[in-house]
Amino acid sequence: MSTSGPSSGMGSSSSKSESEYNVTNTEQDREVLQSVQNLRILCKQFHTHCRNPLCNRTLPIHDDPDRIDDWRAGARSIPPTTHLSAWTCRCKATTCVGCNFLPTLNARSFFTPLGVVNHCCDLGRLYTIYFLLCRFDDSQRQPEKEAPEKSKAKKKSPTKGTKAASISGVGYASGYDPVAYGGSWGPISVDEIDDIDGFPPDFASYASVVHAHYSTISTGPLPTTDEDEKKEQDALMIETLQLLSPCLPDASYPALMETNLFHLSILFDRITDLIRNDAIADVIERANLYVEVLSFVKLIANIPNLSGLLFEERPEKSRSPGLRALANPIIQDSSIPVISSSSRSASVFASSKNIYDQVKMYLKMAAKKTLTGGSAQTPVNPVKKEIMKLCEGILELHENLKTKADVAEQARVKMFGNVNAGFSIGAETAWGKYQEENRVTFTDEVLVAHRFTSDINAFKSSGAKNRLNTISKEVATLTTSLPPGIFLKVAESRSDVMKVLIVGSGGSPYAGGLFTFDIFLPPDYPIVPPKMAFVLDGNDTDTYSFNPNLHVGGSVCLSILNTWSGMPQEMWQPNKSTILAVLVSVQAMILGAPYPWHNEPGHENEGESPQVKENKMVVQTKTLRYAMIAWVENTFQDPKAKEHVWADISKTYWKYNGKNVLAEVDTWVPDNPRLLNFSPNLPYPLGPKKGRGKSVPNTQIQGVNLLNKLAVVLGLDPPYPDVEPEDKKKKGLLSKLMKGKRKVSESDLNLAHHLKKQKSESNHSGSFEQKWIYTGTHNQKESRAACKEFGIGSASSIKETIKKLEKHVNEKGKANPALMEKWGKSIYVEEPDLEASSAGSSFPGEESTGLSDSEY
């Protein structure tokens, strides 16, 4: 938004300074400036005084809250005795604002549920549109004017229990750092979350659970929707649309001033918000309002000179004071209230895609059959006629608008050519489109290898009242509300059986991996939460599970699933909480945790301790092996395998994202070098071993470079080529010679001696070898603590303990890098000349000059 002067913020004066309303008169804002000037030109044409020359009083045409009631009094008869554009003065003279004469009846009258509308003249018709839009805009701006006063009142006398607090919601403990979870939103009150795009209106009821790791949330009493206020707003909009419809021009009319009025008013912004609604349940509940909205939009679509309003992106008007204030001639033309032409809102047509997809899904599910025992089939909760009519109207509207958009596009291409010809769609764009089209899909393959098969077979009839209707509405909402990275597959014949695939969140050790869950909605859903299980292979291996919230066996521990005790607002809210809340919670709190060990009870405030880092490295390794490589290697030949249902999404995901995922994993290497040489005999982290009685045996398995393996299966160049550099070979040979693991031949000596010369920093014959030394405090407590973390016993004295520790690290070569850095450092130490050693003296620590081949 282009503004001159600072924008208002917290702590600023409640009265807006003139600079806050200024718009820089640049090229991008001239359109808005011109629109406001045209509005004021129109308003100057309205007659504002009584036509009686003996009276000439000013008529309250800009501020008359009782105007509609006065009009209704005479609009219920045929012919009507009142006009919306006419005022009766105290002198009893009636004046038409448009022509300044006594209003006359037009031959054409329009019948509405509110009364008969008749226009004295065309300017009077334009005034009626202006008046109705001003009235509507005023009602929309009123709550914002009262907001600062309410905010101040809250600060002076805070309500008990409204103190902001950080809630974990993960099923264990509080104290998460919101910034660590990618959240820089700052404090967010629950009632603000309804304004976040992508979340349904009822999302605030469980907002504290879903957003626990993204922000600090006010955890006082959950706000309740003011139903009376909501009904008043809906009633006003219905009334406005019913009265505007007979004021629209004929199809052949230029409609320049009407277009200008609609551009500057907030009405089409609210229409777009309603059409963009991501909750089919809310649409059905407010069916009367949506019927009027659809009717009005269809009228606009059939007027060629107004239909463009449905396809254009509108100026952003979040800070506009409304049409009445914009028309005020007191405000200078060069200093108008803020309306940004550079920031745009989505068009009505673009916004209708969401509700179109939801309605199609809802009708599809409502038409399904369900088993009620044996092989009998009965319809699922047939849709009421009025709801069916509404849904059909929504489908018809979008398809009509799409046809018009396609025709316009074809005409543009015919006239100007295809500007996109020769340009290919980028991988990111292609993947985004694929995600949008495959958020929710249906297949009975979901029933194959499902974790809750026994529950599914045991329940074949609806338990709770309207259960399946509720599920249908939820699934329809999910088609447009699921965040990127979440895919839902629903059983074709059982909408209460689902599988979910979630992509690990960036910034976590799960980033880019694919994680799968099975879901079953029990008989009493939505009174009780869904059943959910983590089903990806590898969770029960390698000492730790993927996350403390993903238990051995696959159970998912979250407050919202009632699998962990929490505060009342964190638990499942009967008939309010939704599947969407559960899925977003899992994505954010489990697969978005930067340090999974913080989810372990009692470790939430542990910071970046060695144990926390160790656990993170294990999770990264598991993610790379089971959530990445295993998916790419899978050929999906077995249709009975639990992963087979995800074949299409997995293949497409790796096609478009493989290179980016490999780059992401490569950033893990500096802190987790074991990814380049993984084998089961690597040391495992300290701490409890969930589900494991013993560590993995030290089987001498050759290490695998997991990054190279991922690159190879993706068909990409390995980031760490397996060709061993010559100097690395020499270092390996020198190490073996120094440890006496093979005989010393003349060629070996020459090779080793050559390496020594490269490493030497002077001309003498000695060489240098890198060794690790202990740098901790030389006392019994510290040295024993170090030995304990390295997994070895201490000696009888401090000196012997340190010597044993250094020997363990230098000779075995398997110590954890983080522990090495914590307790010591690497240095170069001078060694005796190899040639002198070969002449008869032994290597340090050895008593003979050589070893047999069998000993090597």
Enzyme catalytic residues = 557
Measured distance CA(387)–CA(287) in Å, rounded = 7
Closest CA to 551 of 529, 568, 532, 569: 532
- Please state the three-class secondary structure of 52-64 as a single string: CCCCCCECCCCCC
Q: Do 71 and 86 meet the contact criterion of CB atoms below 8 Å apart?
A: no
Interhelix angle 348-366/385-416, nearest 10 degrees: 140
The one-letter code for the residue type at 274 is L
Sorted by sequence, the CB contacts under 8 Å of residue 828 that are 6+ apart come out as 759, 768, 769, 770, 771
Pairing of strands 369-371, 377-379: antiparallel
Other Cβ atoms less than 10 A from the Cβ of 760: the count is 14
Q: Which residue has the tokens 């002077």?
A: 762
Q: How far apart are the first and last CA of the chain?
A: 74
Omega before residue 526 within 30° of 0, cis? yes
- As to burial, measured by CB atoms within 10 angstroms (0-12 exposed, 13-18 middle, 19+ buried), residue 432 is middle
Q: Do 627 and 252 meet the contact criterion of CB atoms below 8 Å apart?
A: no
Backbone angles phi, psi at 121, to 5 degrees: -150, 170
SS3 825: strand
Alpha helix stretches (DSSP H) within 497-586: 579-585
CA 724 vs CA 595, 720, 732, 736, 771: distances in Å: 34, 10, 11, 17, 22
Phi-psi region of 826 (alpha: psi -120 to 50; beta: other; left: phi over 0): beta
Sorted by sequence, the CB contacts under 8 Å of residue 552 that are 6+ apart come out as 539, 540, 545, 690, 691
Measured distance CA(388)–CA(684) in Å, rounded = 60
SS3 497: strand
Sorted by sequence, the CB contacts under 8 Å of residue 690 that are 6+ apart come out as 543, 544, 545, 548, 551, 552
Measured distance CA(822)–CA(824) in Å, rounded = 6
Q: Do 96 and 85 meet the contact criterion of CB atoms below 8 Å apart?
A: yes
